[in-house]
Amino acid sequence: MKGMRGWSFPIGRFLGVDVRIHTFFLLLLGLSISYASMGGATGGRGIGLWLLLVLAVVVREVARAIAAAWYGLETRSLLLLPTGGLMSYASPEATERASTPEMQKRMAIIGPIANLGFGVLLGALTMVIAPQVNLFERPWITPAHLLRAAVWVNLLLGAVNLLPAAPLDGGRVFRGEFAKSHGGAKGSRTVAGIGQIISFGLIVAGILLPNMWLLVMGVFVLIGARMEDQGLLLQTDVDAVRMRDVMLIEFSTLSASDTLEDALQRSIHSLQDVFPVVRGGNLVGAVSRQGIVEALQTEGNGYVQGVMTRSFQTAQPDDSLVKTLRKIVAGQGAQLVPVVQGDRIVGIITPQNLSHSMTMLNQRRRMRERIAEEDNDR
């Protein structure tokens, strides 16, 4: 999402959702006008053809936004792409729910159904209102016949998104199903590879037919497949990591009844910058080394309970690493996430700890893959 966002610009805020459009649409606008001129049509018809693609994407994303609201997923922003759109959600909880395989499957099928249904509806209305229009005459998508193009742009967008290629809807579903039996990392590699094959197929079909939209979609799927291959692999590995796998189990705590001078003295002998604060073994707050020093300088000696923060994110041992990372982001860069069972703290997560742990986990994964490859060669 971050890489795609860098090549986009905002177009407004609708019903509380920030909407951006990818700059690839500007290239499509130029291609549409050129395509119209080559066919003897006016530039206005080329713009009309481009607007039909935008409309098809909007139809798809409105349907997905309605579905997201139905499932209780509050949408924060939407990035429109020529093949559909990418949503981001307003809370870590909504993002976590949206990333589950079942919810991904539900959301993935809504876009294609919306486009296919809208295309069929337009086709039926055309046959009733303008029966003289031959919907099956080639070329299907042309600026010379915008009514026919409106039908086929929606049908094409819906059909293409059913293909098992990243970053299309079908690719998301296929990746989730494949990962269940073959593992997340292998599922992502497979979907990225299939995506590149399908993208080349779309490009060749677009050249041979000829069909500019198939060609453009093929190029965009190719870009998305390569981004998926390079960027999503780490995310898939992270999804399988639980807090118990990376949390620090040897850490220092402070008591709410400790004096600030005692707390500062104890912090000298610890590498931690932030300390969980407990009372009788139960987690009641958190305090930073810097907070202790500032309180001593401004107010003199006191008690930890007077300067500790009582508002912080917590995690469970079986929570995913992705969920905890989102909590850290939602907490505006929280420096400590206690891992608790009930009211008892069993571990802590810090940004420095996560960085080190993920490096070690990645090295362990590579070692295991190398050992597995050596075993297969024997």
- The CA distances from residue 313 to 50, 65, 229, 276, 362, in Å, are 46, 28, 32, 12, 26
Mean pLDDT of 350-362: 71
Mean pLDDT over the full length of the chain? 81
Tell me which of 109-118, 152-161, 192-201, 359-368 is least confident: 359-368
The confidence score (pLDDT) of residue 115 equals: 96
pLDDT at 270: 82
pLDDT tens for each residue of 274-311: 888 988 878 888 888 888 998 999 989 999 999 998 87
pLDDT at 150: 95
Tell me if residue 121 falls in helix, strand or coil: helix
Kindly state the tokens that stand for 344.
Answer: 């008892």
Q: What 3-state DSSP class applies to 255?
A: strand
Domain edges within the chain: 2-241, 244-351
Q: Hey, which CATH number is domain 244-351, 3.10.580.10, 1.10.10.10, 1.25.40.10, 2.40.440.10?
A: 3.10.580.10
The average pLDDT across 11-25 equals 85
pTM, entire model: 0.61
Indicate if the pLDDT at residue 265 is higher than 80: yes
Answer yes or no: is pLDDT of 5 > 80.
no
CA distance 313 to 256: 18
Q: How many residues does the chain have?
A: 378
Is residue 4's pLDDT more than 80? no
